[in-house]
Structure 1
Amino acid sequence: MKHFITFLVLIISTTFFAQEFNTKKGYVAEGYDVVAYFSHKAVPGEKKFTTTFKDVKFKFSSKENLETFKKSPNKFIPQYGGFCAYAIGAKGEKVSINPKTFEIRDGKLYLFYNSWGTNTLELWQNEGAEELQKKADKNWKKILKSKS
């Protein structure tokens, strides 16, 4: 019976916590304010404005943004756990991001890799963002499924 209960708890926890997040530097979006992105600004968060949601930490640049997030957190969470949207779409791979490189598309936040002369936001836009987004949605489901 003890093993059955342990197994059941494991199944339930992986079902509800299967989503993975890119928490480089200890925070989602490398500590940038996920609410500020929706004002088309990449703003680093401050430690004094921190919260935890879905077992990961988020930083905000102001108390107002922290409170806005708390009211509707799912609205502000980056797509694909905060990994590079282009890499998820093009290759199904989790790649780090540059928190200053982002796009708001259809009311959702997408983050991108931008370093060493490669700006994946530009690739995303030039290669067809809509099609890459569809591929990324499918690939992300596969990634999450493989972790559960």
Structure 2
Amino acid sequence: MEAYMFLIFLLWTDPINTNFRGVAVKGTDVVAYFTQSQVVAGQKQFSVEWQGAKWYFSSAKNKELFTADPEKYAPQFGGYCAWAVSQGYTAGIDPEAWAIVEGKLYLNYSQSVKEKWSADQAALIKAAETNWPQILAK
């Protein structure tokens, strides 16, 4: 029975990609991607819990912006690698490998994966949007 439960745990995909401490996007301030167009480390003192994950922000203002409209700022596909989701699985991310497309934040595993994703991003976003519900259902 223990082996069976462990297997289920391995197959489960959390809706939000977090580290072992439950922090989303490796502690990066997701609002700053939109407001400062750069990667900014968040701080524990400006944190909020949303969808079972802790989200860190660099300022009280960014925390307030996120709290008012988390869907606007949260990365697509739960903060998993957008390219991986387009291929039907999940992978971690590098907060530096990001893009905002049509007002939505997308993260990727690495800069090289981001370049591959950027080359055909419209089709890959569509594929990821199709795959995401199936990935969550696993």
The TM-score with structure 2 as length reference comes to: 0.85
SS at match of 2:30: coil
Superposition pairs of residues 67-146 of structure 1, within 5 angstroms: 67-89=64-86, 91-114=87-110, 119-126=112-119, 128-146=120-138
Alignment-derived partner of residue 40 in structure 2: 43
Equivalent AA in structure 2 for residue 66 of structure 1: K
- Give every structure 1 segment of 4 or more consecutive aligned residues whose post-TM-superposition deviation is greater than 3 Å: none
Q: How many residues align?
A: 124
What is the identity percentage for the equivalent residue pairs of Structure 1 and Structure 2?
40
CA apart distance, 1:145: 2.5
SS at match of 2:34: helix
**Residue pair 2:47, 2:55 contacting (<8 A) in 1 also:** yes
| Structure (1 or 2) with the larger CA radius of gyration | 1
In structure 2, C-alpha distance between the alignment counterparts of 1:125 and 1:110, rounded to whole Å: 10
Equivalent AA in structure 2 for residue 103 of structure 1: A
**Residue pair 2:16, 2:51 contacting (<8 A) in 1 also:** no
SS at match of 2:17: coil
In structure 2, C-alpha distance between the alignment counterparts of 1:60 and 1:141, rounded to whole Å: 28
The unaligned stretches of length 5 or more in structure 2 are 1-12
Equivalent AA in structure 1 for residue 33 of structure 2: Y
CA apart distance, 1:113: 0.8
CA apart distance, 1:19: 6.1
Give the alignment's Cα RMSD to 1 decimal: 1.5
In structure 1, C-alpha distance between the alignment counterparts of 2:28 and 2:57, rounded to whole Å: 7
The unaligned stretches of length 5 or more in structure 1 are 1-17
The TM-score with structure 1 as length reference comes to: 0.79
